Amino acid sequence: MRNFIIRKLSKILLMLWCVSPISYANITCNDACLALDLNNDNMLEAQIDGILFVRHMFGLTQDLLIKDLDIGNDAFNEISKTIHSMGDALDIDSNGEIDALTDGLILYRYMSGERGSRLVEGIVAPNAERSSAVQIEVYLESLSQ
Which residue range is the domain that position 111 belongs to?
Answer: 2-142
pLDDT tens readout for residues 74-119 = 777 888 888 888 889 999 999 999 999 999 999 999 999 999 999 9
C-alpha–C-alpha distance, residues 137 and 55, integer Å? 22
Number of domains making up the chain: 1
Q: Say what the pTM is.
A: 0.75
Whole-angstrom distance between the N-terminal and C-terminal Cα of the chain?
Answer: 43
C-alpha–C-alpha distance, residues 5 and 28, integer Å? 39
pLDDT tens readout for residues 12-54 = 545 444 443 333 445 554 444 557 888 887 887 888 889 999 9
